[in-house]
């Protein structure tokens, strides 16, 4: 007989909310760590590169063409049969609605056909909970979520309990990297390109604005982000024929680091106030931008300074993937949650309201 809550759960996860078509199988139990039995990710970035950004119509068509094969490969690599699964999880939002519909509809069909539970997963919860899949990080923890679509600081109190400390008023951090890369004529996706050039440049070469820096901690929106002023300054810089690309990238990245460091430091103070009993608090960095080593190094130094532990999942689990969706589905399943087949996709789906 299986004692509830002690038998590891096995979940297939499907991710189609942006330009990665991905499926993975994970096994484990909260708080983790879990085992990644397979993790197949196909990046469509080549198809979108000529446009310098993701084209929703191209993305949803590609998901439709690719997804069946990706799922078959994920199941084969995990050496599992459908009956070995406890549930099928899929991103149900937020994201590009056409892609989300492809993944969620496929998950519904599989759940119905295989007689398995369906778990609709919030993509942001997937990023948020990845550090439990990889490191078994206990609740509560402070999360800096920095991706192409989001830039937020949150307290993660449970698999479906989040407190929003701050968010972006305009662009996401990754979006700013992508736009700057486009302005400077670098490839897409821009983040990795900017990082490579930044490593060869002088971060003090160009004076750039750091929007909202130095706002008092107690003021409303003290932990909010804004990148539009920085982006405008970069547009002007890019128009200068004599601009040095490496120096421009290094100066831009240094500004982003200052902004992220300032807001994260303030959020650390809020987290300590909210959770005074957490003896050794943890900062988790998640989302595609967490793959940036210079950002990781700067935040690791901040964490050491503020007596926070830091966890950054490996780069392949920071960018969009199926394992994070499978794990977030597994966490909900372990709480006794699953979803009816009538559940709909959501283009917008915030994790929580602000504190
Ligand atoms: O999490 P993700 O794969 O997709 C979203 O959910 O948005 O994040 C993709 C974003 C892109 O904007 C990409 O340019 C950025 O993450 N990114 C980076 C780096 N690698 C990916 N940004 C800065 N430095 C990097 N090394
Ligand atoms: Zn993402």
Please name the residues in contact with 306: beta carbons below 8 A apart, sequence gap of 6 or more. 265, 268
Instruction: Work out the angle at residue 147's Cα, subtended by the Cα atoms of residues 42 and 212, and round it to the nearest 5 degrees.
Output: 165
Which of ligand 1's atoms lies nearest the C-alpha of 292?
26
Q: Quick check: CB of 171 below 6 Å from ligand 1?
A: no
For 9-130+318-334, give the CATH class: alpha beta
Nearest to 62 by CA among 74, 49, 75: 49
Q: Quick check: CB of 271 below 6 Å from ligand 1?
A: no
Question: Given this model, what pLDDT does residue 2 score?
Answer: 45
Residue 2, exposed/middle/buried by CB under 10 A (0-12, 13-18, 19+)? exposed
pLDDT digits (tens, 9 = 90+) for 114-162: 999 999 999 999 999 999 999 999 999 999 999 988 899 999 999 999 9
**pLDDT tops 80 at residue 109:** yes
Which of ligand 1's atoms lies nearest the C-alpha of 123?
6
CA of 123 from ligand 2 middle (Å) equals 6
Q: How far is CA 179 from the centre of its chain?
A: 18
Q: Quick check: CB of 191 below 6 Å from ligand 1?
A: yes
Query: What is the mean predicted confidence (pLDDT) over 342-347?
Result: 95
CA of 213 from ligand 2 middle (Å) equals 26
> Of how many residues is the chain composed?
355
Pick the CATH number of 140-315 from 3.40.50.850, 3.30.420.40, 3.30.70.20, 3.30.499.10: 3.30.420.40
Query: How far apart, in whole angstroms, are the C-alpha atoms of residue 254 and residue 249?
Result: 8
Q: Quick check: CB of 281 below 6 Å from ligand 1?
A: no
Q: Quick check: CB of 178 below 6 Å from ligand 1?
A: yes
**pLDDT tops 70 at residue 353:** no
CA of 191 from ligand 2 middle (Å) equals 14
Measured by CA distance, the residue closest to atom 10 of ligand 1 is 148
Average pLDDT, the chain: 93
Question: Given this model, what pLDDT does residue 1 score?
Answer: 41
CA of 127 from ligand 2 middle (Å) equals 7
Q: 74-85: string of b/e by CB count within 10 Å (b at 16+)? A: bbeebebeeeeb
Query: How far apart, in whole angstroms, are the C-alpha atoms of residue 217 and residue 196?
Result: 34
Query: How far apart, in whole angstroms, are the C-alpha atoms of residue 316 and residue 187?
Result: 19
Query: What is the mean predicted confidence (pLDDT) over 200-213?
Result: 91
Measured by CA distance, the residue closest to atom 7 of ligand 1 is 148
Ligand nearest to the CA of 181: 1
Question: Given this model, what pLDDT does residue 216 score?
Answer: 66
CA of 82 from ligand 1 middle (Å) equals 32
Window from 50-59, 112-121, 126-135, 207-216 with minimum mean pLDDT: 207-216
Nearest to 133 by CA among 311, 349, 300, 347: 311
Ligand nearest to the CA of 123: 2
Strand order in the sheet with 20-28: 35-43, 20-28, 9-15, 87-93, 117-122
Model confidence at 39, pLDDT cuts 50, 70, 90, reads very high
**pLDDT tops 90 at residue 245:** yes
pLDDT digits (tens, 9 = 90+) for 284-303: 999 999 999 999 999 999 99
Substitution site in 288, 313, 328 for ligand 1 pocket (most atoms within 8 Å of beta carbon)? 288
Dihedral sign from CA coordinates of 223, 224, 227, 233:
negative
pLDDT digits (tens, 9 = 90+) for 222-237: 799 999 999 999 999 9
Which of ligand 1's atoms lies nearest the C-alpha of 178?
14
CA of 14 from ligand 2 middle (Å) equals 13
| Phi, psi for 228 (deg, rounded to 5) | -70, -40
CA of 124 from ligand 2 middle (Å) equals 7
User: What is the maximum alpha-carbon separation in the chain?
Assistant: 72
Question: Given this model, what pLDDT does residue 331 score?
Answer: 97
Q: Quick check: CB of 192 below 6 Å from ligand 1?
A: yes
Please name the residues in contact with 137: beta carbons below 8 A apart, sequence gap of 6 or more. 31, 32, 131, 282, 284, 311
Q: Quick check: CB of 126 below 6 Å from ligand 1?
A: no
Question: Given this model, what pLDDT does residue 37 score?
Answer: 98
Measured by CA distance, the residue closest to atom 22 of ligand 1 is 191
Residue limits of CATH 3.30.420.40 in the chain = 9-130+318-334, 140-315
Which of ligand 1's atoms lies nearest the C-alpha of 190?
14
Query: How far apart, in whole angstroms, are the C-alpha atoms of residue 126 and residue 26?
Result: 13
Substitution site in 148, 168, 321 for ligand 1 pocket (most atoms within 8 Å of beta carbon)? 148
């Amino acid at each position: 007989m299986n004692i509830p809550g002690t038998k590891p759960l096995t979940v297939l996860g499907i991710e189609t909310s942006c330009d990665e078509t991905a499926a993975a199988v994970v096994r484990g139990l909260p708080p983790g760590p879990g085992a990644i039995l397979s993790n197949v990710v196909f990046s469509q970035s080549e198809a979108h590169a000529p446009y310098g950004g993701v084209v929703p119509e191209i993305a949803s068509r590609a998901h439709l063409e690719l997804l069946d094969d990706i799922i078959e490969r994920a199941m084969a690599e995990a050496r599992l049969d459908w009956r070995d699964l406890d549930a099928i999880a899929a991103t149900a939002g937020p994201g590009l609605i056409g892609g989300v519909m492809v993944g969620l509809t496929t998950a519904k069909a599989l759940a119905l056909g295989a007689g398995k539970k369906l778990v609709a997963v919030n993509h942001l919860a997937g990023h948020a909970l990845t550090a439990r899949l990889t490191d078994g990080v206990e609740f509560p923890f402070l999360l800096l979520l920095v991706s192409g679509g989001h830039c937020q600081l949150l307290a993660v109190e449970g698999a479906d309990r989040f407190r929003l400390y701050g968010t972006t008023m305009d662009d996401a951090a990754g979006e700013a990297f992508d736009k700057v890369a486009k302005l400077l004529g670098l490839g897409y996706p821009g983040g990795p390109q900017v990082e490579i050039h930044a490593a060869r440049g002088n971060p003090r070469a160009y004076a750039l604005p750091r929007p909202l820096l130095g706002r008092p901690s107690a003021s409303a929106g003290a932990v909010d982000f804004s990148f539009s002023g920085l982006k405008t300054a970069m547009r002007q810089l890019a128009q200068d024929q004599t601009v040095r690309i490496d120096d421009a990238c290094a100066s831009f990245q240094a500004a982003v680091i200052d902004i992220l460091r300032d807001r994260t430091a303030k959020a650390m103070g809020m987290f300590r106030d909210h959770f005074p009993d957490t003896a050794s608090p943890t900062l988790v960095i998640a989302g595609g931008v967490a793959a940036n080593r210079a950002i990781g190094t700067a935040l690791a130094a901040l964490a050491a300074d503020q007596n926070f532990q830091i966890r950054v999942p490996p780069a392949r689990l920071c960018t969009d993937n199926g394992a994070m969706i499978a794990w977030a589905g597994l966490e909900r399943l372990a709480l006794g949650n699953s979803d009816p087949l009538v559940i709909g996709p959501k283009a917008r789906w915030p994790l929580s309201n602000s504190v």
